[in-house]
Amino acid sequence: MTDLAFPLATKLIEKLGSFASEQICLAWGVKPDLKKLQSTMSTIKDVLLDAEQDECSIVKSANTIDISENVRHLTVLEAGQNVSTTLQNLNKVRTIETCEIEIDESFMCTCFLRFKYLRVVVLPKCSLQVLPSSIGSLKHLRYLAFNLNEAITKLPNAICRLQSLQTLNFVYCENLQELPRDISKLISLTSLFLTTKQTSFIENGVGCLKSLRFLNISGCSNLTSLPRETSYLAALRTLWIADCKQLDLGNVNYQGTPLRLQKLLITHLPRMVALPDWFQGAANTLQFLIIFRCENLEALPEWLRSFTSLRTLALYSCLKLSSLPEGDAFSYLLKRTCD
């Protein structure tokens, strides 16, 4: 899961500050893996910079002439007319990546209609207003990310035809009005990073993603509750909730639902005054519990002592938290409490 969480973790690190994020990495036990991943990503970028590699190419208007027809992995630095014309001559592309550039619906239509075998599409911080419905034709797509895009307001329901999609990331697309109505049809989806302006999730939506193992809900300023359906909870291993100012984790009753959560990260939920009772369903599986900047959290429940698999308990900037449940277990579980 580290490879999926790393890009989002980087952004969260910028928000939370270097010290706390360092502690979170240590608490989750992923710091060595992240360092290895950074080294790997650096190596990949070096390969992409090598113009002699037929299968990898960096594309911009100034150097679109010498691109091999066999190229499979594209990094697009500029989406001008010369680039769109060049793309028309390619048909073996499997990966397309851009970052912080101006792209429009026409450019994306060219990519989606021309590159039928796309596996990976990465478009962070791009001023993309509309995701064309032609994306629904990419039956081989595994990974789709257009996170940190403030321009996009709606997703086409055609995205729900991506039966092979495993990772979908549109976190911190803060003007996204609502999720696609048929999102539950993404039967292969295992990782979902989302932001929405909705006050609640629609029925038969996110809560019915039965293959989901990693769920991140961040920056949802209007959201008041989690999905009401509980069918997804049996597969979910990691739940990461951040920056949801109106979210009350206790206003939906999941009591009696068997949970297999292993990692739970809760960040900046000002309405949370206590951990909800339904968390007790993860008593036998939860290994990491991290709570950051929940300034109204007043106490941890006594039932937390029954969490037999808990290895790390980390608390940061929970200003009203004055005491912990009694017992020696918490003395070695607790990483750091900031008053």
Same domain, 40 and 106: no
Q: 253: how many CB neighbours lie within 10 A of its CB?
A: 12
Distance CA 56, CA 70 (A): 9
Identify the residue with better confidence: 203 or 330: 203
Does residue 149 surpass a pLDDT of 50? Answer: yes
Does residue 253 surpass a pLDDT of 90? Answer: no
Same domain, 43 and 126: no
Same domain, 89 and 148: yes
Q: Is the dihedral of CA 69, 70, 72, 73 positive or negative?
A: negative
Same domain, 108 and 14: no
Question: What share of the chain in percent tops pLDDT 70?
Answer: 74
Q: 75: how many CB neighbours lie within 10 A of its CB?
A: 18
**309 three-class SS:** coil
Predicted local distance difference test score (pLDDT) of residue 68: 79
Find, among 154, 155, 151, 147, the residue nearest to 103 by Cα. Answer: 151
Give per-residue pLDDT as tens, 101-110: 888 888 888 8
Give the domain extent around 101.
54-165
Predicted local distance difference test score (pLDDT) of residue 15: 44
Same domain, 3 and 61: no
On whether residue 8 sits in a domain, the answer given is yes
Identify the residue with better confidence: 85 or 292: 292
Same domain, 83 and 160: yes
- Look up the CATH number of the domain holding residue 72: 3.80.10.10
Amino acid found at 163: Q
On whether residue 145 sits in a domain, the answer given is yes
Query: Could you say which of 147, 165, 183 is where a domain stops?
Result: 165
Same domain, 17 and 115: no
Same domain, 72 and 2: no
Average pLDDT rounded to a whole number, residues 262-271: 96
Query: Could you say which of 112, 135, 165 is where a domain stops?
Result: 165
Give per-residue pLDDT as tens, 177-194: 999 999 999 999 999 999
On whether residue 260 sits in a domain, the answer given is no
1 pLDDT band, cuts 50/70/90, is: very low
On whether residue 330 sits in a domain, the answer given is no
Any residues with CB less than 8 A from the CB of 328 and at least 6 apart, and which?
Answer: none
β-strand pairing of 214-218 with 73-76: unpaired
Same domain, 84 and 68: yes
Same domain, 45 and 58: no
Same domain, 67 and 156: yes
Does residue 328 surpass a pLDDT of 50? Answer: yes
On whether residue 296 sits in a domain, the answer given is no
On whether residue 92 sits in a domain, the answer given is yes
Say if residues 315 and 339 touch (Cβ distance below 8 Å). Answer: no
Does residue 52 surpass a pLDDT of 50? Answer: no
Same domain, 104 and 137: yes
The single-letter DSSP state of residue 211 is: T
On average, the pLDDT of the chain sits at: 81
On whether residue 153 sits in a domain, the answer given is yes
310 pLDDT band, cuts 50/70/90, is: very high
Does residue 44 surpass a pLDDT of 70? Answer: no
Identify the residue with better confidence: 266 or 67: 266
On whether residue 133 sits in a domain, the answer given is yes
Query: Could you say which of 125, 143, 165 is where a domain stops?
Result: 165
Any residues with CB less than 8 A from the CB of 109 and at least 6 apart, and which?
Answer: 132, 134
Amino acid found at 136: G
β-strand pairing of 167-169 with 143-145: parallel
Question: What share of the chain in percent tops pLDDT 90?
Answer: 46
Predicted local distance difference test score (pLDDT) of residue 281: 87
- Considering its fold, how many domains does the chain have in total? 2
Does residue 16 surpass a pLDDT of 60? Answer: no
Does residue 25 surpass a pLDDT of 80? Answer: no
